[in-house]
Amino acid sequence: MSRTALRRLREERGLSQSDLARRAPQVSLSTIKLLDRGVHKPTATTMLHLARALNVDPGELMEGMEVETTA
């Protein structure tokens, strides 16, 4: 199983899932865990919060990830 971009970027920065949740308080720890495993589709807003918390371009975070769209 390949790592998600979120997990790769998080681990490269030496952050635990809890650390990331503290840096992005708008995103719950349970959501981060699901995204980390690639079993949940994030909203664009969630991706923006996580990208800011990781200090990366949102496009880098979305590599290989399908984003949920809302109407």
Determine contact, residues 63/4, Cβ cutoff 8 Å: no
Greater pLDDT, 37 or 16: 16
Note the pLDDT of residue 1. Answer: 35
CATH number for 5-61 (one of 3.40.50.720, 1.10.260.40, 2.130.10.10, 4.10.490.10): it is 1.10.260.40
Residue type, 36: D
Per-residue pLDDT tens over the stretch 18-66: 999 999 999 999 999 999 988 888 888 999 999 999 999 988 887 765 5
Which residue ranges make up each domain of the chain?
5-61
Can you tell me the distance from the alpha carbon of 28 to that of 39, in angstroms, rounded to the nearest whole number?
15
This prediction's pTM? 0.83
